[in-house]
Amino acid sequence: MGVTRLPDVALLFLRLGVTAFGGPAAHIALLHHEVVARRRWLTDDEFGELLALTNLIPGPNSTEMAIHVGRRVAGWWGFVLAGVCFIVPAAVMVACLAVLYVHYGRTPDARAVMSGVAPVMLAVIAQASVTIGRSQLRGPFAWLVAIAAAGLAVAGIHELALLLGAGLLSVAARRTGMLAVLAASGGLMSAQAAQPAQAAVPLTGLSLFFLKVGSVLFGSGYVLVAFLRADLVERWRWLTDQQLVDAIAVGQMTPGPVFTTATFIGYVLRGAPGAVLATIAIFLPAFIFVALTQPLIPRLRASAAASAFLNGVIAASIGLIAAVAAMLVPAVLTTAAQSIAALAALLALLRWRINPSWLLVAGALLGWAGVFV
């Protein structure tokens, strides 16, 4: 394909950053429509190669696809522009909502709104585990890994140990052809002691945490919830479960990458500096991974070991999503009305595939009307 003009790349990804609702799968579908079907910047095969590569590296898939496309069609300046233009509009919107949340989030009206958003957000997370599980868990071994990961996550096993252990387990199973290696996974998935509660949130610690998340997180953006809850809520107690659900809801209600949830959390914990540093930290690894791996596409696609490791990590990621949904139930569903709303939202998502953003808006309006008080 020929070199595309930089202004065209910037305008496309700014528009997607402002209008692309619905999560990573929807973002990638929109991107395919724009760059393959409409503008013909890439062929279907070229787009498929880039998509396969995003599944082999950690980080936000739709953001990495944007960066990949920018690099492929407009060189290194396209690489920068595509990623920045896709991320910044959503980050700015989330930061504005975080300012409102910090100043007004504890007033009765705002709390009422969030009481309606929270059960819908729980349904969105549960639906993600079901939908992704159906499409990604191929065969009994993958289902066993996902179920085991969910159970171990609920029991308190560290999410990084689960992902690494699942990946290595999948490689071992592929080489030996034995499903029985699942029984040996306990040594790879060892728990870590909980950290003591910490009153102040250091900017360095906050930045390093989100840098770690951006560097190791595989799978859907919803796996982010597992990482956030494990450290920010359970270990360090920087956030409550309710604040976490509120942050996820804001990230879901706005267009662009779900990872802008980090922007919201950064502002809640440390104001504007926290928002800026958290955003940079969680997205920076995506740029680095894309820059390093795009030239390696042919070799990575042909690697049986890389494919097996990825399959194991994806299976464990799906288990983590399901585990988080289960662990959030007590904090979110505190009334019968919220339980009914969560079930109704889950049914709407699974049966009619309604855009989650519309359900979140409906939940907010019902909460504002006092239905869940």
Q: Where are the domains of the chain?
A: 6-368
- Res. 120 pLDDT band, cuts 50 70 90: confident
**Gap between the Cα atoms of 263 and 71, Å rounded:** 25
- Cβ contacts of residue 37 below 8 Å, gap of 6+? none
**Long-range contact list for 230-236, CB < 8 A, 24+ apart?**
230/158, 230/159, 232/265, 234/156, 234/194, 235/194, 235/195, 236/195, 236/197, 236/198
- Cβ contacts of residue 287 below 8 Å, gap of 6+? 67, 79, 80, 83
Mean pLDDT (whole number) for 84-108? 87
Q: Whole-structure pTM over 0.75, yes or no?
A: no
Please count the CA atoms within 13 angstroms of the CA of 304 that sit on its side-chain side. 5
* Tokens linked to 302: 């042909």
DSSP state of 295: G
Over 70: is that where the pLDDT of 350 sits? Answer: yes
* Tokens linked to 171: 């490689």
Q: What is the pLDDT of residues 191-218, one digit of tens each?
A: 333 333 344 789 999 999 999 999 988 7
Question: Which conformational region is residue 335 in: left (phi greater than 0), alpha (psi within -120 to 50 degrees), or beta?
Answer: beta
Over 90: is that where the pLDDT of 189 sits? Answer: no
Task: State the burial class of residue 231 (Cβ atoms within 10 Å of its Cβ: 0-12, 13-18, 19+).
Answer: buried
Q: What is the pLDDT of residues 130-182, one digit of tens each?
A: 876 777 787 888 888 889 888 888 887 877 788 788 888 888 887 775 544 44
- Cβ contacts of residue 262 below 8 Å, gap of 6+? 210, 213, 278, 279, 281, 282
Nearest to 132 by CA among 65, 56, 218: 218
Over 60: is that where the pLDDT of 70 sits? Answer: yes
**Gap between the Cα atoms of 152 and 162, Å rounded:** 8
**Gap between the Cα atoms of 234 and 196, Å rounded:** 10
Other Cβ atoms less than 10 A from the Cβ of 160: the count is 16
Please count the CA atoms within 13 angstroms of the CA of 96 that sit on its side-chain side. 7
**Gap between the Cα atoms of 42 and 33, Å rounded:** 11
Mean pLDDT (whole number) for 347-363? 81
